[in-house]
Amino acid sequence: MSDTYLDLVSSGPAASLAKKLGLPKPARLRRTDPSSPDCPLTPGPVLVLSDGGSGTDADTVASDLLAWDLDVRRDTRLGEHDRWGAVVLVLTGLSHPAGLSEPALALGSVLRRLAPGARVVTLSRGAPPALAAPVGADPAVSAARNAVDGFLRSLAKELRAGATGNGLVLADGVGLSAPSVRGGLRFLLSARSAFVDGQLLQVGSDGGAEPADWTRPLVGGVAVVTGAARGIGAEVVRVLARDGARVLGVDVPAAGEALSTVMNSVGGIALQLDVTADDAAERILEVARSRFGHLDIVVHNAGILRDKLLANMTPERFDGLLAVNISAPLRMNETFAAPGTLGGDGVAPRIISLASTSGIAGNRGQTNYGAAKAGIIGMTRALAGPVGEAGGTVNAVAPGFIETEMTASIPPVPRQMARWGSSLQQGGRPVDVAEAIAFLASPQAGGVNGQTLRVCGQMMVGQ
């Protein structure tokens, strides 16, 4: 597994051999310590830089960061032995790509002084990059907004020592103090976003609410996680429970024992159920309501791999995969996304599904899997509108290469290449995906809707 490789190349004779061969030496990522969830947000002072037109917005961000007890600086001077914990670039006033030069070069001048695991976060305005600009949009403004996208994604590929670069893109009209801007900024600065790199997350509205306690934002919420017996699903159960939710875990009867162990460890409920059953959603709702009174958060995580080149594909492999990975979430959402089904006790509905970078970039041998995971992204976009009108959100996460039993079945050479194919030069851990899901499930993420957040260490494939 990647940690063994990391240990090997970090010291001793293997380290010098690896260096001679030019093999990657991945950094240890800054991750949350489960025993102390309120560890410092950043590993050092935070520098706030802005473009010429964003002065007031930069002041707002700086005072928010100060209120979180961070050491906030507005110029690039730093003590001889200090290292920057984060740089926040406020680019909301950008009206021409040329305006990027001053803050970009100021950032460049401090890059060699970033602490291990530091964060660079951009705050800018615009629609999601994939969308056309509205009719009548100023080409220079549109160019400037998209320039932030290319700048950030390229910068993230230059960062070292576990540092990451990500951005929040605010729709016009969304204020800097909106819950999802503040909540998104906290997530991206924190250790919770360890394997999110080179990504821009759209905040589409002022929706959502700040939690009473940032370390337990899900108190009062009830969640169901499918495929909870192992891998990513088991970690999602643990992280949602750590954040205060009561959790129901679902898995097939064959995984019943492992499921019970996971659910007992968090005082949750285990439900043995195949998600392809016609009445799966109704059974989940019945159990959640009878044990907890309501259901608020649905995590569609259960999934399978049935890789084969299309020339060798069988109907069992193609149809069997689609049944679990996309038809089951689609069918269950007919119930979960219906008005009045999810939410209660003041907790807003949340539906979060597992997509994959294979559904974005495609992957050889995975026509079935790529189709299903791209289908998840399409389903997410379509449900965002109606569920959003009812005060909820529907989002997806797209993991890249994550170390689980699923990926342990990939042959060794492509497995190692997949690890090295990301900017962070390693595979992610299930907890990295779980943290992103917990953020999207939180009340502060209420302004993020219809999005697919990649948790992939910036895989070189795809956008």
**Active-site positions?**
369
- Any bridge partners for residue 49, and if so which? 89
Task: Give least dist CB 35 to ligand NAD, A.
Answer: 23
Residue 119: Cβ-neighbour burial (10 angstroms; 0-12, 13-18, 19+): buried
Binding-site size, ligand NAD (CB under 6 A): 28
Residue 193: Cβ-neighbour burial (10 angstroms; 0-12, 13-18, 19+): buried
Of 32, 42, 193, 226, the one binding ligand NAD (CB under 6 A) is 226
Q: Which is nearer to ligand NAD, 89 or 441 (CB)?
A: 441
Please count the residues of the chain: 463
* DSSP string for 43-98: SS-EEEEE-TT-HHHHHHHHHHHHHTT--EESSS---TT--EEEEEEE-TT--SGG
Ranges within 144-173 binding ligand NAD (CB under 6 A): none
Q: Which is nearer to ligand NAD, 70 or 275 (CB)?
A: 275
Q: Is residue 232 part of the contact set for ligand NAD (CB under 6 A)?
A: yes
Using CA atoms, how far residue 355 sits from 146, 303, 378, in Å, is 25, 10, 10
C-beta of residue 159 within 8 angstroms of C-beta of residue 191: no
* DSSP string for 168-208: EEEPTT--TTSHHHHHHHHHHHSGGGTT--S-EEEE--S-S
Sole residue written with tokens 């999934």 = 303
Stretch binding ligand NAD (CB under 6 A), from 229-237, 333-341, 385-393, 442-450 = 229-237
For residues 406 and 410, give the distance between their C-alpha atoms in angstroms, rounded to a whole number: 8
C-alpha atoms less than 13 angstroms from C-alpha of 393 in its C-beta half-sphere: 28
Binding pattern for the stretch 270-309 against ligand NAD, x by CB under 6 A and - elsewhere:
----xxx------------------------xxxx-----
C-beta of residue 166 within 8 angstroms of C-beta of residue 152: yes
Task: Give least dist CB 147 to ligand NAD, A.
Answer: 30
Task: Give least dist CB 277 to ligand NAD, A.
Answer: 8
Q: Is residue 374 part of the contact set for ligand NAD (CB under 6 A)?
A: no
Q: Which is nearer to ligand NAD, 26 or 227 (CB)?
A: 227
Q: Which is nearer to ligand NAD, 127 or 455 (CB)?
A: 455
Q: Is residue 395 part of the contact set for ligand NAD (CB under 6 A)?
A: no
Neighbours of 282 (CB within 10 A): 12
Q: Is residue 405 part of the contact set for ligand NAD (CB under 6 A)?
A: yes
Distance of CA 447 to the CA centre of its chain: 15
Closest to 269 measured CA to CA, from 281, 277, 260: 260
Q: Is residue 231 part of the contact set for ligand NAD (CB under 6 A)?
A: yes
Supply 135's token pair. 């009719």
Q: Which is nearer to ligand NAD, 32 or 226 (CB)?
A: 226
For residues 26 and 447, give the distance between their C-alpha atoms in angstroms, rounded to a whole number: 34
Q: Which is nearer to ligand NAD, 62 or 280 (CB)?
A: 280
Q: Is residue 402 part of the contact set for ligand NAD (CB under 6 A)?
A: yes
Of 106, 140, 252, 330, the one binding ligand NAD (CB under 6 A) is 252
Of 45, 184, 370, 399, the one binding ligand NAD (CB under 6 A) is 399
Of 324, 326, 394, 445, the one binding ligand NAD (CB under 6 A) is 324
Q: Which is nearer to ligand NAD, 54 or 367 (CB)?
A: 367
Stretch binding ligand NAD (CB under 6 A), from 30-38, 54-62, 134-142, 244-252 = 244-252
Angle of helix 430-441 relative to helix 231-242, nearest 10 degrees, comes to 50
Of 32, 166, 193, 404, the one binding ligand NAD (CB under 6 A) is 404
Stretch binding ligand NAD (CB under 6 A), from 4-12, 41-49, 162-170, 249-257 = 249-257
Q: What does the DSSP 8-state code read for residue 122?
A: E
Q: Which is nearer to ligand NAD, 203 or 434 (CB)?
A: 434
Task: Give least dist CB 284 to ligand NAD, A.
Answer: 11
| Exposure class string for 332-343: b at 16+ Cβ within 10 A, else e | bbebbbeeebbb
Task: Give least dist CB 332 to ligand NAD, A.
Answer: 11
Task: Give least dist CB 305 to ligand NAD, A.
Answer: 7
* Residue ranges that bind ligand NAD, judged by CB under 6 A: 226-227, 229-233, 250-252, 255, 274-276, 301-304, 324, 354, 356, 399, 401-402, 404-407
